[in-house]
Amino acid sequence: MTEILRDEPAPGICRLTLNRPDALNALTYAMYEDIVRLLTDIRYDPSTQVVILTGAGRAFCAGHDLRAAGEPSWVAPNLGKAQKMRAVMAKLGAITPLMRSLPQPIIAAINGVTAGAGYPLAVAADITIAARSAKFVNAFHNAGTGHEMGLSYLLPRRVGAARAAELLLTGRAVMAEEAAAIGLILKSVPDEALMDEALSMAGTIQANSPIGTSLTKQSLWLNETAPSLEAAIEMESRAIFISQSTEDTAEKRKAFVEKRRPTFTNR
């Protein structure tokens, strides 16, 4: 069985589906490798404008599979415990920065329980929406600490430092409606409407030029740590210059005037 499905539910939209429903899409070492490989492939795929990340069955992701994860093929044999764990975490730790640096926006469509390693995947997405039945569980304490894969960086920027401290330190579960209320996700929707909502949002993003969208995403996340307002504005100004020199941006302006859907060519 393919553990991560890749399909195109609409032109220009790539959907990645965690596909171990019988295990609540718990992650294996092979799946971590696949995520890195798929994100790297998508980065250089000009036909992909938006990515949707979701799970098969009744869960988004139950975290790392503690029973049947397999072996990390990228780790050299005969390493000591600390050296092996360092190599393992280097691969896992690469995933969320890859998501944030991907030129295409990522919409996480959370369709059920998300716990452990699934949690940072959900909050590393650019936009996160969830089914009403979704639940977010910080299960990392079962592995020794309350964070992994950048969660201690990502979560305060979603919900604020005080709320993040509570969620990271207690490990309590957050249901979808509360998650929306505190800013952990954008919104919750009826379970049956989740994928339609994700596709609709992706379609709205596609109305903007791919390069303009990519540069906006880059400025959005890099400017979180900009040293000053002036530095942030300089980042934006350079993005504007690049985007305005393209045929796609000219097409966007023309389509707006003519009240039609733009046709982009990545030129």
- Each residue of 115-140: pLDDT tens digit? 999 999 999 999 999 999 999 999 87
Model pLDDT, residue 146: 74
Binning pLDDT at 50, 70 and 90, where does residue 143 land? confident
Q: Residue 3 is which amino acid?
A: E
Question: How is residue 13 written in tokens?
Answer: 């939209």
Residue 141: its pLDDT value, please? 73
pTM for the structure as a whole:
0.94
Confidence of residue 147 (pLDDT cuts 50, 70, 90): confident
Q: Is 44 helix (H, G, I), strand (E, B) or coil?
A: coil
pLDDT in tens, 244-257: 999 999 999 999 99
User: Which pairs count as long-range contacts for 150-154, CB under 8 Å and 24+ apart, including other chains?
Assistant: 150/93, 150/96, 150/97, 150/120, 150/124, 151/119, 151/120, 151/123, 154/96, 154/120, 154/123, 154/124
Residue 66: pLDDT band (50, 70, 90) is confident
Model pLDDT, residue 45: 96
Whole-angstrom distance, CA of residue 81 vs CA of residue 86: 9
| Pairing relationship of beta strands 135-137 and 174-175 according to DSSP bridges | antiparallel
- What is the 8-class DSSP label of residue 26? P
Do 228 and 188 touch, CB atoms closer than 8 A?
A: no
Is the model more confident about 1 or about 240? Answer: 240
Question: Do residues 168 and 118 make contact, with C-beta atoms less than 8 angstroms apart?
Answer: no
Residue type, 168: L
**Residues 191-238: tens digit of each pLDDT:** 999 999 999 999 999 999 999 999 999 999 999 999 999 999 999 999
Residue 181 pLDDT exceeds 80: yes
Rounded to an integer, what is the distance from CA 141 to the centroid of its chain?
Answer: 22
The string of pLDDT tens digits covering residues 69-105 is 899 999 999 999 999 999 999 999 999 999 999 999 9
